C-alpha cells in the first residue's frame, strides 16, 4: 500500500442482523436471553454481511465513483468511511477532515429560518461559525432563496429546502468529500448545478467519493470507479471499463420474463406466450436495457396445434398506465402462414428511444380478424430502461424529461448569422 | 473517555452550542407565552405544593416560609427532570442525524443539558425575587452553590446520556421514565425537609444523588438549614459516579446507534 493514501481500508467487513433485527423492548430481550440459555438456539438471529473483506486505497485528489446494485453495500461503505457506523472487523484509516453528504439538509429544523438553518446545518456538517459567517452570502446566493432566507423553512417547498441544503454542502471545506445520490433528486436545473459543483470540487483537487446510480454522471466525473457487488469489490479501475463490465453483468438475468406461470390471461390457449427476452446487439438477454441501445425483443411462443394466419403484437405502457405504443404483425401487414410447436418471433428495434423508467408490456395473439383471442397477457412483462449517456453530454436524463427522446442535434449556426447580420448593418468604425 | 474523545468534543464545541441554541429557539416557538413558561412551570408547582403540603398537610419547613422553601428545591429539580426528559429523547428524535452524519453523539444529550440551564437561570432570578419578598438573606454558604450547580449539571447529563442511549435500544424508556422521575421526586427532599427523616436512614437516602443537590442547594441559600457535609458529600460522590457510568455506557453503546435506531 502506498504511503500517500488519504483513505485506506483493509479487510473491512460489516455484519448486520436481519429478520430478528433487534429486540425492541426489554421483556423481549429477557425472553430472548432465557430462550437462548435454555434452547441454545443461536441460529435464530440471522446475519448478513453487508460488506466482506473490502480493501481500498484512495490517493489525495482522486475522484472515485462507487457503483453497484441496490443493497450491494455501497451505502454501508460510505457510512463506515464517514464514521456513522462502525465495521465489524477490518481497519480504516482516513487522513483529514471528511464531509459526508449522504442526504441534503441533514438536521434542518422546520421551525427555524433559512438563515438559522444554514448555521445549524453547517455546524452539523463540521463548519465553524466563523466559516459560516464568511461564506453566508455565497451560500444564500447559491441557494437562490434570498427572498425567503428569514422565513421558517416549514414554509419552503421541498425544492427550496433541497437547494438550501445543497448550497451549504457545496461550501464545505474538507479534504475528503463523500457524496451519495444527491444528484438523484431535484429538477434538471438543480442537477446541473450539482454537477458543476462536483466538477469544481474535483478541480480544486479534493478527494471526492461519489456514489450514484447515475452511470452517466459517474463516467463524466470520475476517472476511477469501484464496483461493489454483494459486499465485495468486484472491480476497481478506469471508469469506462468498470461501468461497461457492470452493465454487462446485468445481462442474462431474465427471470421476470418467464410467462409460463402467469395465470391471469385470456384466450383459448391455442397459442401461448412463454417468455419475452430483450436481447442486446451481441445477442445476450438482458434484464435492464440502456436508453438508446439497439434491442431485439424476442417473443417465445408455444402453439399446441397448428394455427394459421395469426397476428402477434404488444402494447407498451408507462408505469402510470399510459399507452406508449402498440405494434404487431397486423400493423405491418405481415402474414404468418402458420405457427406450430415452439418457436420465437423477433422484433428488432434499432434505437430504444425510451427515457429511463420502468415500463410494462401486454402481449396478445389473435386470428387475423382480431375476433378470436389465442392469448392475452396484460402487463405481464416488465421492461426497465437504464440511464445512459444518450446525448453524449454526461447528463442524467430521466423520466422527468418525459418518456421518449429522439435522435437529435442542436444547431447554433443561426446565432452566428445574426451577429454577422448586425455587424453588416452597423456603420464601420474604421 | 480517552484523551482523543475529549479533544474531539472540544473541537466540536460549537456544535454543542448550536444544539442547545436550537433547543432553546424551538422550544417556545409558536407558544403564546413564549419563554414565560420557564417561570410559570416551577411557579405553578410551587403554588400547588404549597397549598397541598404547606397549608393542608402542614409540612415543616425549617422555619422558612413554605413557598420559598419548596421553590428553592423546585428550581434544580425542574432542571433535572426536564433535561433528563429531553435528553432521553435527544437521540431517537434525531435519528436522521445519527444515520446520515458523523459528530460526537454525546453532544445531543449534552446540548439538552446546556439548553436547560437557561430555564434554570430564569428560575433562579425569580428565586432571588422571592427571597427579597420574604426577606430571607442567604448565608455564607451561598459561595458553595456553584459547586452544587456543576454537580447538578454533571448528574443530569449522566442520567440523560444513560437514558438516551438506552432509549435507542429499548423504547420502553419513553414510558418508564415519567414514573421513575415521579418516584424520584418523592425520594428527594423537595416537599419535605431532610430533618423529618430519622437519622439512621439519612445516609441510605443520601445515596440518591439528587438528595445532595436539592438539600445542598437549599442549605446554600438558607442559614436555617443545616449543611450536613457528610450527606451532601455522599450524594455528590454518587452523582459524579453516575455521570461517569452514564458516559461510559453511552460510549459503549454509541457504536451501534446508527445500526439499531
Q: What is the pLDDT of residue B212?
A: 87
Same-domain check for residues A233 and A334: no
Nearest CB partner across the interface for A25, out of B15, B170, B259: B170
Let me know if residue A394 belongs to a domain: no
Question: CA of A21: which chain B residue's CA is closest?
Answer: B260
Please state the ipTM of this predicted complex: 0.84
User: Is A106's CB within 8 Å of B100's CB?
Assistant: yes
Nearest CB partner across the interface for A22, out of B26, B30, B260: B260
Domain CATH for A110: 3.40.50.300
Same-domain check for residues A245 and A352: no
Which helix (DSSP H) or strand (DSSP E) does residue A114 occupy? helix A114-124
Q: What is the pLDDT of residue A418?
A: 59
Q: At what angle do helices A188-203 and A158-170 cross, to 10 degrees?
A: 10
- Determine the average pLDDT of the residues in B151-156: 95
Confidence of residue B41 (pLDDT cuts 50, 70, 90): confident
Let me know if residue A15 belongs to a domain: yes
Residues of B in contact with A82 (CB under 8 A): 101-102
Same-domain check for residues A17 and A130: yes
pLDDT of B221 strictly over 90:
no
| The three grid cell numbers given for residue B18, joined into one nine-digit string | 448550536
pLDDT tens string A378-402:
777 888 888 888 887 877 787 778 8
Question: How many CB atoms sit inside 10 A of residue B133's CB?
Answer: 11
Q: What is the pLDDT of residue A137?
A: 93
- Determine the average pLDDT of the residues in B131-146: 85
Let me know if residue A148 belongs to a domain: yes
- If you average pLDDT over every residue of chain B, what do you get? 88
Q: What is the pLDDT of residue A254?
A: 41
Let me know if residue A396 belongs to a domain: no
Q: Per DSSP, what are the bridge partners of residue A176?
A: A98, A207
User: Is A84's CB within 8 Å of B258's CB?
Assistant: yes
Among A249, A268, A289, the domain-final residue is: A249
Distance between B99 CA and the closest CA of chain A, angstroms? 6
Among A249, A284, A305, the domain-final residue is: A249
Which helix (DSSP H) or strand (DSSP E) does residue A209 occupy? strand A207-211
User: Is A102's CB within 8 Å of B258's CB?
Assistant: no
Same-domain check for residues A227 and A360: no
User: Is B18's CB within 8 Å of A116's CB?
Assistant: no
Among A249, A275, A310, the domain-final residue is: A249
User: Is B102's CB within 8 Å of A16's CB?
Assistant: no
- Determine the average pLDDT of the residues in B71-85: 93
Burial (0-12, 13-18, 19+ Cβ within 10 Å), B247:
buried
pLDDT of B56 strictly over 90:
no
Q: What is the pLDDT of residue A430?
A: 45
Same-domain check for residues A279 and A132: no
Q: What is the pLDDT of residue A166?
A: 84
Q: What is the pLDDT of residue A235?
A: 92
Distances in whole angstroms, Cα of residue B248 to Cα of each of A179, B153, B237: 33, 17, 16
Distance between A227 CA and the closest CA of chain B, angstroms? 22
Domain count, chain A: 2
Same-domain check for residues A50 and A188: yes
- Residues 195-254 on B with a CB inside 8 Å of A are none
pLDDT tens string A308-341:
999 999 988 876 667 789 899 988 999 999 999 9
Question: CA of A106: which chain B residue's CA is closest?
Answer: B97
pLDDT of B18 strictly over 80:
yes
Question: Chain B interface, mutation test: which of A117, A124, A172, most B Cβ atoms within 10 Å?
Answer: A124
Distances in whole angstroms, Cα of residue B56 to Cα of each of A276, B49, B71, B185: 86, 10, 17, 20
Q: What is the pLDDT of residue A387?
A: 82
Q: What is the pLDDT of residue A420?
A: 56
Q: In which residue ranges of chain A is pLDDT below 50?
A: 1-2, 21, 40-43, 251-255, 426, 429-430
Same-domain check for residues A206 and A76: yes
Distance between B1 CA and the closest CA of chain A, angstroms? 18
Same-domain check for residues A208 and A83: yes
Backbone angles phi, psi at A46, to 5 degrees: -80, 140
Same-domain check for residues A290 and A225: no
Q: What is the domain range of residue A374?
A: 255-388
Sheet architecture: strand order including A338-349: A271-279, A295-308, A338-349
Q: Is B13 on the interface with A (CB under 8 A)?
A: no
Let me know if residue A409 belongs to a domain: no
Q: Is B182 on the interface with A (CB under 8 A)?
A: no
Amino acid at each position: 500500500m502506498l504511503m500517500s493514501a488519504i483513505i485506506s481500508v483493509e479487510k473491512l467487513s460489516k455484519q448486520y442482523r436481519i429478520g430478528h433485527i433487534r429486540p425492541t423492548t426489554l421483556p423481549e430481550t429477557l425472553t430472548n436471553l432465557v430462550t437462548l440459555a435454555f434452547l441454545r438456539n443461536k441460529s435464530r438471529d440471522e446475519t448478513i454481511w453487508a460488506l466482506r473483506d473490502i480493501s481500498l486505497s484512495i490517493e489525495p485528489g482522486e475522484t472515485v465513483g462507487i457503483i453497484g446494485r441496490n443493497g450491494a453495500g455501497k451505502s454501508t461503505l460510505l457510512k463506515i468511511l464517514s464514521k456513522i457506523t462502525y465495521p465489524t472487523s477490518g481497519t480504516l484509516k482516513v487522513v483529514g477532515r471528511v464531509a459526508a453528504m449522504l442526504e441534503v439538509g441533514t438536521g434542518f429544523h422546520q421551525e427555524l429560518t433559512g438563515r438559522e438553518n444554514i448555521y445549524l446545518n453547517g455546524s452539523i456538517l463540521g463548519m465553524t461559525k466563523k466559516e459560516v459567517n464568511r461564506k453566508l452570502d455565497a451560500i444564500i446566493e447559491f441557494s437562490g432563496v434570498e427572498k425567503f432566507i428569514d422565513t421558517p423553512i416549514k414554509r419552503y417547498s421541498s425544492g427550496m429546502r433541497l437547494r438550501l441544503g445543497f448550497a451549504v454542502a457545496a461550501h464545505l471545506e474538507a479534504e475528503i468529500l463523500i457524496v451519495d445520490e444527491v444528484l438523484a433528486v431535484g429538477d434538471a436545473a438543480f442537477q446541473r448545478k450539482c454537477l458543476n459543483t462536483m466538477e469544481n470540487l474535483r478541480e480544486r483537487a479534493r478527494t471526492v467519493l461519489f456514489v450514484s446510480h447515475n452511470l452517466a454522471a459517474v463516467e463524466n466525473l470520475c476517472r476511477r470507479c469501484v464496483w461493489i457487488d454483494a459486499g465485495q469489490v468486484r472491480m476497481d479501475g478506469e471508469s469506462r471499463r468498470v461501468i461497461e463490465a457492470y452493465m454487462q453483468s446485468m445481462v442474462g438475468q431474465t427471470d421476470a420474463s418467464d410467462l409460463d406461470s402467469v395465470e391471469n390471461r385470456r384466450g383459448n390457449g391455442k397459442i401461448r406466450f412463454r417468455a419475452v427476452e430483450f436481447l442486446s446487439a451481441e445477442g445476450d438477454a438482458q434484464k435492464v436495457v440502456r436508453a438508446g441501445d439497439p434491442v431485439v425483443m424476442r417473443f417465445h411462443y408455444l402453439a399446441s396445434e397448428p394455427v394459421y394466419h395469426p397476428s402477434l403484437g404488444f402494447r407498451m405502457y408507462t408505469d402510470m398506465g399510459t399507452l406508449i405504443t402498440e405494434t404487431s404483425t397486423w400493423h405491418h401487414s405481415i402474414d404468418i402462414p402458420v405457427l406450430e410447436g415452439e418457436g420465437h418471433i423477433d422484433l428488432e428495434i434499432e434505437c430504444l428511444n425510451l427515457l429511463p423508467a420502468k415500463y410494462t408490456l401486454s402481449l396478445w395473439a389473435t386470428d387475423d380478424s382480431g375476433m378470436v383471442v389465442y392469448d392475452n397477457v396484460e402487463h405481464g412483462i416488465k421492461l426497465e430502461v437504464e440511464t445512459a449517456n444518450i446525448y453524449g453530454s454526461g447528463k442524467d436524463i430521466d423520466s422527468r424529461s418525459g418518456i421518449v427522446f429522439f435522435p437529435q442535434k442542436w444547431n447554433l449556426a443561426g446565432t452566428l448569422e445574426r451577429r454577422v447580420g448586425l455587424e453588416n448593418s452597423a456603420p464601420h468604425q474604421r | 473517555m480517552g484523551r482523543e474523545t475529549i479533544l474531539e468534543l472540544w473541537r466540536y464545541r460549537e456544535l454543542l452550542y448550536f444544539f442547545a441554541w436550537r433547543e432553546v429557539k424551538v422550544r417556545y416557538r409558536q407558544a403564546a407565552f413564549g419563554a414565560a413558561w420557564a417561570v410559570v412551570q416551577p411557579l405553578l408547582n410551587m403554588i400547588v405544593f404549597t397549598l397541598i403540603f404547606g397549608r393542608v398537610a402542614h409540612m415543616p419547613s425549617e422555619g422558612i416560609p413554605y413557598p420559598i422553601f419548596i421553590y428553592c428545591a423546585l428550581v434544580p429539580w425542574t432542571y433535572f427532570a426536564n433535561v433528563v426528559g429531553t435528553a432521553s429523547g435527544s437521540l431517537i428524535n434525531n435519528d436522521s442525524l445519527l444515520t446520515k452524519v458523523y459528530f460526537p453523539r454525546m453532544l445531543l444529550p449534552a446540548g439538552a443539558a446546556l439548553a436547560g440551564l437557561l430555564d434554570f437561570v430564569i428560575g433562579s432570578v425569580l428565586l432571588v425575587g422571592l427571597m427579597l419578598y420574604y426577606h430571607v438573606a442567604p448565608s455564607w454558604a451561598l459561595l458553595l452553590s456553584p459547586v452544587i450547580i456543576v454537580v447538578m449539571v454533571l448528574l443530569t447529563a449522566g442520567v440523560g446520556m444513560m437514558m438516551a442511549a438506552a432509549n435507542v435500544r429499548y423504547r420502553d424508556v419513553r414510558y418508564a421514565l415519567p414514573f421513575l422521575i415521579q418516584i424520584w421526586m418523592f425520594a428527594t427532599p423537595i416537599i419535605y425537609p431532610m430533618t423529618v427523616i430519622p437519622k439512621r436512614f439519612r445516609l441510605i437516602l443520601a445515596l440518591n444523588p439528587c438528595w445532595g443537590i436539592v438539600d445542598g442547594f437549599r442549605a446554600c441559600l438558607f442559614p436555617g438549614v443545616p449543611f450536613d457535609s457528610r450527606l451532601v458529600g455522599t450524594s455528590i460522590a454518587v452523582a459524579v459516579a453516575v455521570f461517569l457510568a452514564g458516559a461510559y455506557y453511552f460510549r459503549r453503546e454509541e457504536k451501534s446507534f446508527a445500526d439499531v435506531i
